[in-house]
Structure 1
């Protein structure tokens, strides 16, 4: 076995002479203290790049190594990836937190035949799950040291001793490989071997590091899984209504853009608002989930693009009724003409018929337009709908009745949008269900505010919002941020079935009026405009045709300094 050969080389090596009492390596107590300190950091530090670098540096100090490399297993498990490489004598620092880019290729764990690669020391240690301690690579056999020898030649360096330890987790799964080179006698500065004590401590360190990195990986995987499940919910909403799918993606993006701008604000009422990495993750999660309750909203309500739409647009049924009215008018005139042969009377009857047909056609066009919906329907138009509703017609049951029933009148006189009060209540209920769904989850401490952030984006500063009627001071800054993001995205979106996307200037004008009437937070709106968040968002997500030139002096509720 190669490892047996290597161990025999270690035992017979002349470098063992440096294991004398004069060799001032760290004491057992010092190494235990270093290992304990590292274990504490492993349990508390969640910055993986910083952590892996610290692991390597502690391993260097613990063994007096001149340099070292920490490999991580690639995602497909087929290679060892250079994560960080350090050499003190050469001043080399690659990878890690601030090092230069890694220039070395990955080490394959399998050969061309798909068998375990036992050719290089690091791959051997990884595949065999054992440590390899070599006193002098120039006197060792059984491994290919081509890469190291080329490195020595290029750098005018001499690699002598080598300690390679696999990093295995609690299930003996390979996490990475820790490789140290050239143990240095701190007193004589002569290259020595890595002692048995060095090896045992590095193996202990590697084991603890592997478990910590595994835990971090598992946490990361769970977080990714959770975020993927959230996106799965949004896909479900998207499939129910492709017209609102982008809303679930764009609102979190705009929320974070605005939150970052507020975070950078150093004056005014928002100067104290700051966000940590965890705070940002919590807000991002809330943004993704802010409309999750819509998964329960009936599709015909979400997709209602006209006032009369249900399974189909009932305006076509009304079109048929107009054809019946026109037919009946023609029949009535024809009967009168048959009863009176006077040409003058017949001409008058023809003129009356034409006027009636024109009026009916105008009324039909009017109802078609009223059916589309908009921001505001005038009282005059609502009254005209009611007048047309009183026309009499004879249906299939041969019974005379009003041209429009009350439900049709109620829908066609909807003041804004396409939803009647009952449907609006169903839509608004999505936020109640969002809160109910989110509050039912066992959130970890660093995500415990997600329900409040996500559930507050329809509240208003003046307390007239829903579902809880909270006032501004009762809402978190994060909820107020999301409220502005939600409104602005809705104004500018081009994918809604009931409207076209508004121009940038008009959207800011409407949002500014919301600021003045107590709907949104004026301080956050000020940041939204002053730091050009609206423009950054527009360039990323809006149609270029919507990006007209904005005169900030004319935006209601905003004061240019």
Structure 2
């Protein structure tokens, strides 16, 4: 046993202290595990060592790292050869615990096993595998120290096993001392904490990724078009961010990302529209101006049928009263043709477009002033003492407001509902206790509708107040929306038209012109288009003609 003041004991304490600090700093689990095993070998002068980890089903111990200096064996770990040793069963075919193998015994009992000489040992352990190893390699295993690693809940994390300790002086194989055992048990306890922390971090990251996917599944089930957008925007965001990262000249040359930065930005991209999970479907996917639960243009068509029927009935009544049949036929044909033209016009007006002219809006209002008699009007007139009433307005106020929308299919009120998704996104993301390395997720995700000139929403930020990442996402969001061919309310634009619109945005203060330059110069727009756009949308691009870009 080492004396309290022996150099070897002091050296071990220093090594254990250094390793404890190192274990707290490491994030690479594979390197961490190898460091643990090599430290255990170094502390005891062991010739060989094995680190076992429990299998996913916890029914066996898997050889994770196996080292032997004399034989030159280095398997597993960060740089070793592939493991070719079969796993050690923790349970027999009948379900009983395997207590015959030393490592399995330590795993089940939670106790260390220190054997001076396995060939002289008669404690009931089965060393047939060890003997086969010795015979195969011409080796002589003698002393064994096996120590379980358990977490704070007593769950098995792994098993450390060392073989053939070096004795003092000549270095001949000796038994592992009680001091060796205590140091390795202390190391195993520290290692178990470090491994458990790494596992918990990994599990939390997996849980976070699963929760993000859960939100996107909900959005996709609610609106497949939005779900697709939530997958493509992060992809394009990362492509443009990498191009900015690679820039060697220009305003973006200082911009660089670490792997942690990339993970943070990717997560923000996945969550950038999570607030849309609260937006009504009839607004998110409003394909036509009169669509709610269904497209109300069918109701308007029915009213035209009623008007045409009434005109036909009125004409027949006049004929019966003695009117000229030829004149009546001509007048009726004229009236019906006019009503059909008005019906076709409203059908066309119901489809959202780039801009509805003022004369077209006035024509909608004029048609809306027609009078027609529905079921309710007929019932009211039947009970009235006097003659026929005037019926109802052909179009309701809500229908008029929708059919005169100038751009797209959304009314001002519906556009406010859509725009509110970004405020909901920010509130949702800011409500989460983000760890330090993900603290920018709300800002990146919440800034993709801001503009360089401060005219964006929801906070009206100027370019200097926005991170590069948020500006990147703004470009990705717009480009994907312009080119998307699966939206129910519009067709996907051609690539050239989309780039022309984005170029205009770069010159009018909407998007970052420096990032747009990288977007074009790096060819990111074309790479994304070739991968994700309909080939029929990809037309020839004259980059010299793109607004705001100078080749």
TM-score for both structures, normalised by structure 1? 0.87
2:511 aligned residue:
520
| SS of alignment partner, residue 372 of structure 1 | coil
The 1:91/1:350 distance shift into structure 2, 3 A limit, reads farther
How far, CA to CA, are the matches of 2:172 and 2:537 in structure 1?
69
CA deviations 1:511-533 (Å, max 9, x no partner) are 33332332222222333333343
1:479 to 464, 467, 470: 470
Determine if the alignment matches structure 1 residue 87 to structure 2 residue 76: no
Q: 2:433 maps to what in 1?
A: 442
Q: Distance in 1 between matches of 2:249 and 2:69?
A: 46
For 2:410, what is the secondary structure of its paired residue? coil
> Match for residue 386 of structure 2?
none
Deviation at 1:366, TM superposition (A): 2.4
**Bigger shift: 208-217 or 224-233?**
224-233
Query: Per the alignment, in what secondary structure is the counterpart of residue 117 of structure 1?
Result: coil
Cα offsets for 1:419-440 (capped at 9, x unmatched): 1000100110111122223333
- Which runs of no fewer than 5 residues in structure 2 stay unpaired? 378-388
CA 1:212–1:558 in 2, change beyond 3 Å: closer, same or farther?
same
Name which of 261, 264, 275 aligns with 1:293: 275
Q: Is the 8 A contact 1:552 1:558 kept in 2?
A: no
Counterpart CA distance in 2 for 1:464 and 1:502 is 25
Aligned partner of 2:147 in structure 1 is: 165
Question: What's the RMSD between the two structures over aligned residues?
Answer: 2.8
**TM-fit CA distance, 1:114:** 1.6
Structure 1: runs of 5 or more not aligned? 1-18
Paired position in structure 2 for 1:551: 541
Say whether 1:382 aligns with 2:357: no
1:72 corresponds to = 53
Q: Distance in 2 between matches of 1:307 and 1:518?
A: 30
* CA contact 2:2–2:9 (8 Å) conserved in 1: no
Give secondary structure in 2 for the equivalent of 1:53.
helix
Partner of 2:105: 124
Query: How big is the shift at 1:461?
Result: 1.3
Structure 1 residue 37 and structure 2 residue 18: aligned? yes
CA–CA distance in structure 1, aligned partners of residues 413 and 299 of structure 2:
22
Asked whether 1:273 is paired with 2:262, we answer no
Aligned counterparts of 1:158 and 1:536: Cα–Cα separation in 2: 61
Matched, 1:367 2:346: yes
Q: What SS does the aligned partner of 2:49 have?
A: strand
Secondary structure, counterpart of 2:52 in structure 1: strand
1:419 pairs with 2:410 = yes
Deviations 1:43-99 (A, max 9, x none): 222222221121112112111223322222223222223333333344433332233
- Cα deviation code 1:377-419 (max 9, x no counterpart): 3444334323332334334425345422332222112122211
User: Mean Cα displacement is larger for which, 547-556 or 225-234?
Assistant: 547-556
The residue correspondences of 1:169-208 to structure 2 (distance < 5 A) are 169-185=151-167, 188-208=170-190
- In the alignment, which residue of structure 2 is the partner of 1:457? 448
For the residue of structure 2 that corresponds to 1:71, the secondary structure is strand
| CA–CA separation in structure 1 for the residues paired with 2:313 and 2:166 | 112
Segment drifting more, 287-296 vs 168-177: 287-296
Whether contact under 8 Å (1:505, 1:550) holds in the other structure is: yes
Which range moves more in the overlay, 476-485 or 141-150? 141-150
Distance 1:394 1:516 in 2: 53
What SS class does the counterpart of residue 405 from structure 2 fall into?
coil
3-state SS of 2:162 partner: strand
Task: Give the Cα–Cα distance (whole angstroms) in 2 for the partners of residues 122 and 538 of structure 1.
Answer: 56
Counterparts in 2 of 1:37-436, with a 5 A limit?
37-140=18-121, 142-185=124-167, 188-340=170-322, 342=324, 346-396=325-375, 397=377, 398-436=389-427
Q: Secondary structure at the match of 1:438?
A: helix
* Structure 1 residues 348 and 47: alpha-carbon distance in aligned structure 2, compared to 1, 3 A threshold: same
Distance of aligned partners of 1:243 and 1:150 in 2 relative to their CA distance in 1, 3 Å threshold: same
Shift of 1:187: 5.8
CA-CA distance at 1:240 after TM superposition:
3.1
CA separation in 1, counterparts of 2:60 and 2:536? 49
Is the 8 Å Cα contact of residues 512 and 555 (structure 1) preserved in structure 2? no
How big is the shift at 1:150? 4.5
